[in-house]
Amino acid sequence: VASATVASGAAPRRALVRRPARNLAEGQLTHITRSPIDPDLADEQWRGYVAALTNEGWETIEVEPALDLPDSVFVEDAVILFGDLAVVASPGALSRRDETPAAEAAVRALGLTVHRIELPGTLDGGDVLKVGRTVYVGQSRRTNAEGIRQLRALLEARGHTVVAVPITKVLHLKTAVTALPDGTVIGYRPLIDDPSLFPRFLPVPEPEGTAVVVLDAATLLMSSAAPRSAALFAGLGYRVIAVDISEFEKLEGCVTCLSVRVR
Ligand code: CIR
């Protein structure tokens, strides 16, 4: 845990983040073609993302950087938090397996109860969407049936319902859908295999509009690449904070992937 900042006067809300690797441009790509990454711009965008969190009263805790693990900035994939329970993921991509020890160290330092998803189970945090007591888990190229089985065993013992969702059109479940503070699942229809799995579903007009980070009951953090989706959420009464994360979107990342909220 390298650094922490907090806006004065705000209740402490904490989020894990992880500085981009030097070889970010070598990150995994599955569904889109590679386009050049500007590493300086990526660093600047990451700092802008962290500043957006701290400006809203979030304390950011840096997971020890892994400067040679290209996808390590996408810290959401390495660990999933459910209140006092931290589930250390089992990355489905070989190149991402070494990302988890430092994420585990960070959550242990927070005093959370830690469980690991173990091989042959694989599970990426980007496949896990919490909506109240329901936990949707994408069955994707990264998350397999055994990973879902292990997560289900951990969570059902704690009163959550785990719903597995087949994912074939995008990398992770949360590339296709996230949720508003009231539990409405939002998503870009062409990326979703079956929207009828979600009891309340609202389609958004842009693929980058599917991902929102809920900063509080009235405030959403999202990508500046989705202005029409931002207008849709503003019309529903939300305050929207937009950040440019173009260099991470080129690697199939999104706003949710860049942090893990502790709650
Ligand atoms: C990967 O393919 O693993 C990274 N290039 C992108 C990970 C994005 N993470 C996420 O959607 N949670």
Q: Are residues 168 and 162 in contact, defined by beta-carbon separation less than 8 angstroms?
A: no
Question: How much is the pLDDT for 234?
Answer: 98
Question: How much is the pLDDT for 12?
Answer: 76
pTM, 2 dp: 0.95
Distance from the CA of 172 to the center of ligand 1, in angstroms? 7
Dist. CA 241–CA 57, nearest whole Å? 13
Say if the ipTM goes beyond 0.85: yes
Q: Are residues 176 and 212 in contact, defined by beta-carbon separation less than 8 angstroms?
A: no
Degrees to nearest 5, angle at CA 90 with 257 and 157: 95
Protein residues whose CB sits closer than 6 Å to any atom of ligand 1? 27-28, 30, 71, 74, 76-77, 93, 96, 126, 171-172, 174-175, 251-254, 257
Of 72, 77, 83, residue with least CA distance to 117 = 77
Question: How much is the pLDDT for 195?
Answer: 94
Q: Are residues 180 and 174 in contact, defined by beta-carbon separation less than 8 angstroms?
A: no
What are the backbone angles phi and psi of residue 64, rounded to the nearest 5°? -45, 125
User: Based on C-alpha coordinates, what's the Rg of the chain?
Assistant: 17
Evaluate the CA torsion angle 205, 208, 210, 212 in order and state its sign. negative
Distance from the CA of 252 to the center of ligand 1, in angstroms? 6
Edge-to-edge strand ranges of the sheet holding 4-5? 4-5, 58-62, 13-17, 260-262
Question: How much is the pLDDT for 263?
Answer: 76
Q: Which residues pair with 123 in a beta bridge?
A: 90
Ligand 1 atom closest to 142 (CA)? 3
Of 87, 73, 82, residue with least CA distance to 37 = 73
Q: Give pLDDT tens digits for 5-53.
A: 444 444 579 999 999 999 999 999 999 999 999 999 999 999 999 999 9
Dist. CA 172–CA 61, nearest whole Å? 24
Give the residue ranges of the chain where pLDDT is below 50.
Answer: 1-10
Question: How much is the pLDDT for 7?
Answer: 45
